[in-house]
Chains A and B, each alone.
Chain A
Amino acid sequence: MDAQVLLFLIFILMLAALLGFELIAKVPSTLHTPLMSGSNAISGITLLGAISVCGAGHSDLATNLGIAAVAFATTNVVGGYLVTHRMLDMFKKKEKD
């Protein structure tokens, strides 16, 4: 990686972080838990990297590390979204009342 690429990536990082602050700052406290588990699911995005490493046909050790990384990240993604969905379902029920 050269400095050019790094600067470019840092630029993206800066914009995304500021956007994140703006997006979340006004979320009502009622939704703090679903917000947290929902954003937690997003952090399972490392799955993409894990997939690439796992499937690249490297040595056994690397592949096994990859499998573990994929498993952890998938749990994070699947569990995170589903549990958020379950919680939000409870918030929904009441709207009908």
Chain B
Amino acid sequence: MLSTIVQNSVYIVSAFLFIIGLKKLGSPVTARRGNQLSALGMLIAIVVTLLDQGIMDYQSIAIGIAIGTVIGVGGARIVAMTAMPEMVAILNGFGGASSLLLAWAVTITSYSMTFLQSFTIVLSLLIGGLTFTGSLIAWAKLSEKISSKPMQYRGQNIINGALLIAAVVLSVLFVLSSDMAINYGYALIGIALLLGVLSVMSIGGGDMPVVISLLNSYSGLAACAAGFVIQNMLLIVAGALVGASGLILTNIMCKAMNRSLKNVLFSGFGSVKTASSSEDEQGDISPITAQDAYYILESAQSVVFVPGYGMAVAQAQHAVKELGQILEANGADVNYAIHPVAGRMPGHMNVLLAEADVPYDQLKEMDDINPTMSTVDVCIVIGANDVVNPDANDKEDSPIYGMPIIDVYNAKTVFVLKRSMNPGFAGIQNPLFFKENTRMVFGDAKDTISSLVAEFKA
């Protein structure tokens, strides 16, 4: 049997593999290798933990691992690439749930706890619970099981505040008491679960990239807290790595929306938007058919696609790629402009276009494409709205003023593929639609693109 020394030595190797794995995940060339190294680190850590001599009941462990493996493998196999945000959300939640249950089990099996130990248990229960239900709500919103609109109600901040105070009070009671601890623990779990639900319910679908990143960070912090509970260094190191990476992504997403994290979490976008709509001179929109669009595209020398969440909803990525190839064969220079918060999670559009086999070098980041926008003949906006709204650049009272956007309005012609004139998630009108160089192509994005492809082939 292995001693603690051997076990900890293996944990050091695991930590090393996680770190190298994450480093390699940072470049397209080495990313696959990075993921494999990280998985190897996890595998050896699990094996050495299973060999621990303190383990007597292998049957229970086997049951748990079997259940988890079946669900994990099944889920990872069948999930559609367009459903990746919900997949990541629910996996985050499972990580949180595990930390919560772990801390709970430790609480009921410990005869006496020191002050510090109970303190770490409180953290683990709270963060784990919050991550669990928060992620479930995020999953439900992303998969449209419930409305993705922010749920706002009167006295929301008061209720959340009261819950927080209750959590603090219960935490103190939990830490101070020895005999009643578990009851306070149950109450804490309840509050953590409730807080997770309430805090994500009040956030709208368009803010999901921030929420998922933050929940990702929380799932790391939950693992970290669990690491303090059982004094396991590997849990702490791995949890901290994940927590840090989640925070960085959260920060990138917030910057891309020109909003503070506080604003995203607590102010539900809807509340600030009323100012704009009033006395705007909207002008007329110019709708055209796919056939007319084809004539314009046929002579275009450079075309830029700007995908948004609508492309994911319509599952249009393959059709888009096909059109891109046809345009290239037709002599046009084809690129894809990706806004950092397009879609529902960081890098969402990149994954979809990768699935459709769009070459890397055609994917351009916002800052690279904007300076060249005036030389673009046709810009095709597919299911994106707020990330191409010119109000963000020049209308100071607009709620999205200051958010960096893709300057599609500088292109010679802009096609906007859209189901209807309904405003986007933010509920604000988009003056882009009324510009002289904008043509609206109404209908399902996939159908529109497919009929364009058909026109080219005819």
Instruction: Give residues in A with beta carbon < 8 Å to B.
Output: 1-3, 5-6, 9, 12-13, 16-21, 23-59, 61-63, 65-95, 97
Contacts and interface: CB of A to CB of B under 8 A. Distances in A.
Closest 3 CB pairs of A and B: A74-B68, A20-B244, A70-B64
27 contacts: A6-B228, A9-B236, A17-B240, A18-B244, A20-B244, A30-B360, A32-B345, A33-B84, A34-B347, A35-B245, A35-B249, A38-B38, A42-B21, A44-B98, A49-B102, A49-B232, A51-B49, A55-B55, A55-B56, A55-B61, A56-B54, A56-B55, A67-B61, A70-B68, A79-B87, A82-B76, A94-B360
Contacts, number: 392
A24 B238 CA distance: 14
B65 interface: yes
Interface in B23-42: 23, 25-29, 31-32, 34-36, 38-39, 42
A63 B64 CA distance: 10
- Which label, helix, strand, loop or mixed, suits the secondary structure of the B interface? helix
B98 A50 contact: yes
Given A24-B245, A66-B60, A74-B67, A36 B26 contact: no
A20 B34 contact: no
B249 to A, nearest CB: 6
Interface stretch (B103-111, B295-303, B380-388): B103-111
Interface residues of B, number: 115
Contacts of A39: 22, 25, 216, 220, 241-242, 245-246
B308 interface: no
A51 B61 CA distance: 6
A27 B25 CA distance: 8
- Select the residue from A29, A36, A88 with max chain B CB neighbours within 10 A: A36
Interface in B108-124: 108-109, 114, 116-117, 120
A20 B101 contact: no
A16 B347 contact: no
Interface string B55-91: 1111011011101110111011101010010011001
A66 B31 contact: no
A48 B114 contact: no
B231 A5 contact: yes
B248 interface: yes
B76 A83 contact: yes
B237 A55 contact: no
B101 A75 contact: no
Nearest to B29: A95
A14 B274 CA distance: 44
Contact of A62 (B109, B234, B237, B246): B109
A50 B55 CA distance: 11
Interface stretch (B198-206, B348-356, B448-456): B348-356
Contact of A84 (B35, B226, B243): B35
B96 to A, nearest CB: 9
Contacts of B365: 29
B443 interface: no
B102 A58 contact: no
B69 A80 contact: no
Contact of B26 (A31, A70, A79): A31
B236 A13 contact: yes
Interface in B215-271: 216, 219-220, 222-224, 226-249, 252
B401 interface: no
B426 to A, nearest CB: 22
A57 to B, nearest CB: 4
A54 to B, nearest CB: 5
A46 B26 contact: no
A61 to B, nearest CB: 6
A20 B238 CA distance: 9
Given A36-B347, A79-B94, A97-B357, 9 more contacts: A20-B243, A24-B245, A29-B252, A32-B350, A40-B92, A42-B220, A47-B42, A51-B61, A54-B61
